[in-house]
A = this chain, B = another copy of it.
């Protein structure tokens, strides 16, 4: 019963097969190999963005930090939600790579347009003493499992662009959001005003690869030099590309996301019928935030269930349940049974 994270599971067998297939013959290093070139072309096609610059890196933190370094200058600030991964979980990597500051917008998981406008204006009001607005970063899926609609992304991008700010989408769970919204990659990115995407693959089936997609070449200055300077240019680059090939081939990426979302929906539906469980927010993708009694928590833990504890108060435990693509129905059943038995 593993609901702790979508980075604890295995790589998908189709991804591993692609990696094994790639392990033959000599290939140019540093991304000059054919497999990498093909992967770049494939991502451009999927995103309907023939001019986009596409780069592969081994981690999501690298993808976010390097993308943001292209969008924000060292004397600027990057707007994000207070609970954004780039603020809370990357140990300062975005600041390290860009030199920029982070400014926290409002106090909601999904950034509200009014809060965003207010924070830009507050920044500008500091004049030459304050830090200048530089970029906007959105997480899709958000850290609390919510999804921005295409219109919501567009509304925020419009505000950003009105102030000449680039827009970054942290898409560690890009596929889960896209499948849930039932839109195309382009619709959820550049058509909605996004300038740069961290296109996650690690959580959804690979073992260590993310793509950075920069739609606006003018905002992609020297990504390559920055990547090398950050130590993120893999010499045997084909093994990044092979993972991504396996991930994109035969729609594995959308199949995996659809499966995790469906598994999650089944779990949500069942949990709704259990009095014990209170939802902290409405699950929209493959992540659930809810609270249960201390007693229920104890039984689940005793039975070997693994998940993150967010907090504890008044005899209730707030937990996060992540459904990854490999989660077994049997484990969900077992999890539900423990909760049902309590009632």
How close is A212's CB to chain B, nearest CB, in angstroms?
11
Candidates B27, B76, B226, B233; contact of A8 at CB < 8 Å: B27
A229 closest partner in B (C-beta):
B91
Does A284 interact with chain B (Cβ within 8 Å)? Answer: no
Whether A129 and B231, one on each chain, are in contact in the complex, defined by CB atoms closer than 8 angstroms, is: no
Whether A93 and B62, one on each chain, are in contact in the complex, defined by CB atoms closer than 8 angstroms, is: no
Candidates B20, B76, B239, B306; contact of A208 at CB < 8 Å: B239
Does A245 interact with chain B (Cβ within 8 Å)? Answer: no
Size of the chain A interface, CB-CB below 8 angstroms: 75
Candidates B9, B59, B93, B96; contact of A26 at CB < 8 Å: B9
Candidates B5, B91, B128, B240; contact of A75 at CB < 8 Å: B91
Q: Are A90 and B129 CB-contacts (below 8 A) given A25-B10, A75-B225, A231-B62?
A: yes
A72-96, CB < 8 A from B:
73-77, 88-93, 95-96
How close is A78's CB to chain B, nearest CB, in angstroms?
11
**Complexed CA–CA distance, A63 and B92 (Å):** 19
A85 closest partner in B (C-beta):
B129
A20 closest partner in B (C-beta):
B16
Whether A26 and B8, one on each chain, are in contact in the complex, defined by CB atoms closer than 8 angstroms, is: yes
How close is A107's CB to chain B, nearest CB, in angstroms?
10
Whether A30 and B128, one on each chain, are in contact in the complex, defined by CB atoms closer than 8 angstroms, is: yes
How close is A316's CB to chain B, nearest CB, in angstroms?
18
Whether B5 and A225, one on each chain, are in contact in the complex, defined by CB atoms closer than 8 angstroms, is: no
Chain B residues near A239 (CB-CB < 8 A): 11, 207-208
Chain B residues near A291 (CB-CB < 8 A): none
**Complexed CA–CA distance, A47 and B235 (Å):** 26
A98 closest partner in B (C-beta):
B74
Whether B224 and A236, one on each chain, are in contact in the complex, defined by CB atoms closer than 8 angstroms, is: no
Does A184 interact with chain B (Cβ within 8 Å)? Answer: no
**Complexed CA–CA distance, A288 and B24 (Å):** 25
A55-78, CB < 8 A from B:
57-66, 73-77
Q: Are A222 and B75 CB-contacts (below 8 A) given A96-B230, A99-B99, A101-B95?
A: yes
Whether B235 and A232, one on each chain, are in contact in the complex, defined by CB atoms closer than 8 angstroms, is: no
A97 closest partner in B (C-beta):
B231
Chain B residues near A9 (CB-CB < 8 A): 26
Chain B residues near A217 (CB-CB < 8 A): none
Does A142 interact with chain B (Cβ within 8 Å)? Answer: no
Q: Are A16 and B8 CB-contacts (below 8 A) given A95-B95, A233-B59, A239-B207?
A: no
Q: 29 A-B pairs, CB-CB below 8 angstroms? A: A8-B29, A10-B25, A11-B239, A59-B231, A59-B233, A59-B235, A62-B231, A73-B222, A74-B96, A74-B229, A75-B228, A89-B126, A89-B129, A90-B231, A91-B128, A91-B130, A93-B229, A95-B101, A96-B99, A101-B102, A128-B225, A132-B225, A202-B235, A207-B239, A208-B235, A208-B240, A230-B230, A230-B231, A231-B232
Beyond A75-B222, A96-B99, 6 additional contacts (C-beta under 8 Å) are A8-B27, A59-B233, A73-B222, A89-B129, A208-B234, A232-B232
